[in-house]
Every structure is written in structure tokens, then in C-alpha cells.
């Protein structure tokens, strides 16, 4: 075993698409432990298999586990398909254009190894739709269309309670199991490599200083720009943290500065892998040389909300039904 540091999370992202185009699956679900993708499913209710994405899950779980994962994901694909049809009806939408239902659920372990916040939320066509308020066992909706789902789920009377039980107990149990499998791969803290690149501005007056951090893990990182000691971070442009394709991450933050004042600016980076904040200035010796290294273009992982399938993990995982009319097998998002 190994000592862990910081907090940890188990999250699932799932996406269902009503009319998938070329190269796009009808249903995609991706599982993450912290910032590491460990399982992925692409397919629909009849095809596709759950696949391991890291050696530690592949080497520790056998055929039965992957068969069960596949069964759960395929069932989830069927539920997502039904849910999409229902929601399109709520908004009086036709099938002429493609629609997407998305979601996210998961749990967290605090630094002291006690359970943290659990979360479950859903989206539709890129907008918020409905989310669980675990503290009050109620549902928060974004618009009138989602009220239909809210009323049906509240009429059942047990759905919120079952989700809360999953998030607080079974999800935590599986997170601890996966942390045991992942070991150092999950508890490592790789410090970022940082440089500052100067780019000429379009007007010839100002220039852009871009502070780049790459090769770091975990994904949490903080940037700050200072001008002669004064914090000017409110002026910076900051992009989302993105995976580098090698298990690590990259990010940059830039500021516009007057030409000739570049050396007055300092980029300060804080990360778990650094013993202390790292301060970096533009290196004038590199101004006429080609930049070493290339920032990798990343395809963003489809944001997906696993809504329709939450399972109980007691021995064999079983499907937690959303709302059943007429018995098991007719789970629908209504």
C-alpha cells in the first residue's frame, strides 16, 4: 500500500445522442478516478463493451467485472435513448436535428479519508437540466421542461434517497477499491515545467506574454501574474486545463503588456508537485529561437451524465432503476 495525499474522487461522465453522426457513438460513458480515465464505453444498447483505460484496472479486475460493466452501460444506453425521446416531447422538439442528454455523478474522499461531497447532475443540449440536492433530497431544475422530470421523480418518493445512498456509501467503497489498485499512479504529484513565451501584438504597441505549464499531475494548478510585485491576475486570459495525452496535463495564462516592459512581469505557478510557488519571467535569450516543444491539441472528452444507470455494489452490481412502470426493464426518464 502507499500513502495518499490530498482529496480523491470517482466520477462518471455519460453522453447520449439522438442522431449520432459519423464517428460518434449513440452512447458514451467514461469513468475517472481523480484525473485518470480508467474505463470507457462507446456503443448503444446492443453493441459496445466496457474497456479498461489503465493497466491497474486491467490487471486487477477479471472477465466477470467487465461483463457486468458492459451490461450496465448497455442498459444505460437504452435508458438514455428513452430519456431523450421524453425530453424532446417536453420541449415539443422533432427528431429532425440531433439532441444530447449529458450528465455527471460521483463522490469524493477528503484528505483525512472521510467521505466528502457527492454530486449528480444532468444537462440537455448543452444546458443545465436537473440536479440532485443531496442535503434536502430534492431536485433543482433549470427550466419548465425539467419540471416534468422533477414531478415524476418526486412522485416515486425513493429515487433521491437511493441516489444519496449510492453516493455516500457504494461510490465511496468503489473509490477506495480503485485507489488501492491505482497506488502511486494516482497519488503521484508531478511538478509542472513552466516557460513564458512572448508574442507580438496586432497593433505593434502591446505584446502578449503567455505562461505555459505542462507535464504536471494532478490537474489542479494555479496561475498568477505580477507586475513589479502587484497582482495583475484579473487582466490575464486563462484557458481550461487540458490533458497532454500522456497522463499529465497542460495549461496556459497570458497577459497583454506594453512593449518594452516585458521584464517587469512575473508568472507565478502553484502546484502540489512544487515545494514552493515557481516564479518565471520571459527569457530574452530565447526570443529569436524556435520554441522547444509543442502544446498538444486535445479533443475534449464529451461531457456526459450518467443518469440513467446507477447501481448497487453489493457483491454483483445491480441496476438502480430510475422510474419503473410495470416492473424491471422499463426504466425510463419520465
Mean pLDDT for 120-127 is: 95
What's the pLDDT tens digit per position in 198-234?
Answer: 998 776 678 999 999 999 998 999 999 999 999 999 9
CA-CA-CA-CA dihedral for 134, 131, 113, 271, to nearest 10? -140
CATH topology assigned to domain 193-283? Immunoglobulin-like (2.60.40)
Alpha-carbon radius of gyration of the chain:
23
Percentage with pLDDT > 90 across the chain: 65
Note the helical H segments in the chain.
55-58, 63-90, 144-156, 159-165, 171-182, 184-187
Question: How far is the C-alpha of 53 from the C-alpha of 56, rounded, in Å?
Answer: 9
* The predicted structure's pLDDT at residue 287: 53
C-alpha cell at 235: 487582466
List the strands of the sheet with 265-271, edge to edge: 230-231, 221-227, 265-271, 278-280
Confidence of residue 132 (pLDDT cuts 50, 70, 90): very high
SS3 at position 249: strand
SS3 at position 187: helix
* The predicted structure's pLDDT at residue 285: 74
Question: For domain 8-185, which architecture applies?
Answer: 2-Layer Sandwich (3.30)
Confidence of residue 324 (pLDDT cuts 50, 70, 90): very low
**Is pLDDT above 80 for 2?**
no
Question: How far is the C-alpha of 191 from the C-alpha of 128, rounded, in Å?
Answer: 35
**Is pLDDT above 70 for 282?**
yes
What's the pLDDT tens digit per position in 147-169?
Answer: 999 999 998 878 999 999 999 99
Q: Work out the mean pLDDT of the chain and round it to a whole number.
A: 83
pTM comes to: 0.71
Q: 132-141, 243-252, 260-269, 289-298: which range is least confident on average? A: 289-298
- Identify whether the C-beta of residue 269 lies closer than 8 Å to the C-beta of residue 278: yes
Question: How far is the C-alpha of 97 from the C-alpha of 49, rounded, in Å?
Answer: 27
Task: Enumerate the domain spans of the chain.
Answer: 8-185, 193-283
Confidence of residue 12 (pLDDT cuts 50, 70, 90): very high
Confidence of residue 102 (pLDDT cuts 50, 70, 90): very high
Amino acid at each position: 500500500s502507499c500513502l495518499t495525499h490530498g482529496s480523491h474522487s470517482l466520477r462518471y461522465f455519460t453522453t447520449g445522442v439522438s442522431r449520432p453522426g459519423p464517428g460518434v457513438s449513440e452512447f458514451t460513458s467514461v469513468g475517472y478516478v481523480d484525473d485518470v480515465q480508467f474505463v470507457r464505453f462507446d456503443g448503444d444498447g446492443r453493441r459496445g463493451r466496457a474497456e479498461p483505460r489503465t493497466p491497474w484496472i486491467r490487471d486487477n479486475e477479471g472477465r466477470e467485472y467487465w461483463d457486468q460493466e458492459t451490461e450496465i452501460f448497455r442498459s444505460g444506453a437504452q435508458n438514455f435513448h428513452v430519456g431523450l425521446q421524453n425530453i424532446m416531447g417536453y420541449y415539443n422538439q422533432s427528431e429532425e436535428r440531433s439532441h444530447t442528454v449529458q450528465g455527471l455523478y460521483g463522490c469524493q474522499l477528503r484528505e483525512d479519508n472521510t467521505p466528502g461531497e457527492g454530486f449528480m447532475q444532468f444537462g440537455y443540449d448543452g444546458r443545465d437540466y436537473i440536479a440532485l440536492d443531496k442535503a434536502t433530497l430534492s431536485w433543482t431544475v433549470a427550466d419548465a421542461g425539467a419540471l416534468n422530470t422533477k414531478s415524476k421523480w418526486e412522485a416515486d418518493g425513493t429515487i433521491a434517497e437511493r441516489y444519496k445512498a449510492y453516493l455516500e456509501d457504494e461510490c465511496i467503497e468503489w473509490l477506495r477499491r480503485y485507489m488501492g489498485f491505482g497506488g502511486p499512479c494516482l497519488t503521484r504529484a508531478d511538478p509542472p515545467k513552466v516557460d513564458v513565451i512572448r508574442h507580438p501584438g496586432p497593433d505593434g504597441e502591446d505584446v502578449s506574454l503567455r505562461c505555459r505549464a505542462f507535464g504536471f499531475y494532478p490537474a489542479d494548478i494555479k496561475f498568477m501574474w505580477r507586475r513589479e510585485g502587484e497582482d495583475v491576475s484579473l487582466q490575464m486570459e486563462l484557458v481550461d486545463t487540458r490533458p497532454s495525452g500522456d497522463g499529465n496535463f497542460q495549461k496556459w495564462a497570458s497577459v497583454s503588456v506594453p512593449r518594452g516592459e516585458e521584464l517587469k512581469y512575473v508568472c507565478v505557478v502553484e502546484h502540489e508537485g512544487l515545494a514552493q510557488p515557481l516564479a518565471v519571467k520571459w527569457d530574452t535569450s530565447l526570443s529569436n529561437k524556435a520554441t522547444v516543444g509543442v502544446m498538444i491539441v486535445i479533443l475534449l472528452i464529451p461531457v456526459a451524465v450518467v443518469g440513467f444507470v446507477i447501481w448497487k455494489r453489493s457483491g454483483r452490481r445491480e441496476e438502480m432503476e430510475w422510474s419503473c412502470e410495470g416492473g424491471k426493464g422499463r426504466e425510463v426518464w419520465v
